[in-house]
Amino acid sequence: MLLKINDEPTFFVDAMLGNIAKKLRLLGYDSKYYSNIDDEKLIDDAKKENRIIISKDEELIKKAQKLGIRSIYVTKIEEIDQFLEIITSVNLKIQINGNTARCPKCNSLTESIDKDSIKEKIPQGVFNSNDIFWKCKCCDHLYWEGTHIKNLQEFVGKVNERL
């Protein structure tokens, strides 16, 4: 029997929606995204991995639905509107937590990292004005509260106002 680790939905985000993929990752949702992938491969992977497809491409959505794959058809243009379409169709919780955030670049988990150990790798100003840092477990990219979390907070605030 397969053990289900958690009930959080996972996603496969279509090439046209890179910013949405990044935000979902920062919010902790496992979201596959490639800037260039063909429909068949995307559908195939989503099916195998039980991912919800998020796309602006009506043809792709139709194909997915025929195969019984859950999908979200994004019709709006503004990012906030698009996000609202997604949240309302899967009842997504949006909570910002740096410790569960995924790397927006590669979708891997991140871990908090001791500030002093990365002193040489970040700009002095960033070092001085932030205390909490994370490192991607896969691509080693560094993140900190200032830019990454605060921009997201603002976005999530706007989304919540509209819910």
Q: Which residues bind Zn ion (CB under 5 A)?
A: 103, 105-106, 108, 136, 138-139, 141
Q: How far is the CB of 10 from Zn ion (least distance, A)?
A: 17
Closest CA to 33 of 102, 101, 107, 92: 107
Instruction: Tell me whether residue 138 or residue 156 sits nearer to Zn ion (CB atom).
Output: 138
Q: How far is the CB of 100 from Zn ion (least distance, A)?
A: 15
Provide the H-helix boundaries in the chain: 18-26, 39-48, 58-66, 79-90, 124-129, 150-162
Instruction: Tell me whether residue 49 or residue 111 sits nearer to Zn ion (CB atom).
Output: 111
Quote the CA–CA distance of 141 and 13 in Å, as a whole number: 21
Instruction: Tell me whether residue 23 or residue 63 sits nearer to Zn ion (CB atom).
Output: 23
Instruction: Tell me whether residue 103 or residue 149 sits nearer to Zn ion (CB atom).
Output: 103
Q: How far is the CB of 125 from Zn ion (least distance, A)?
A: 23
Quote the CA–CA distance of 76 and 41 in Å, as a whole number: 25
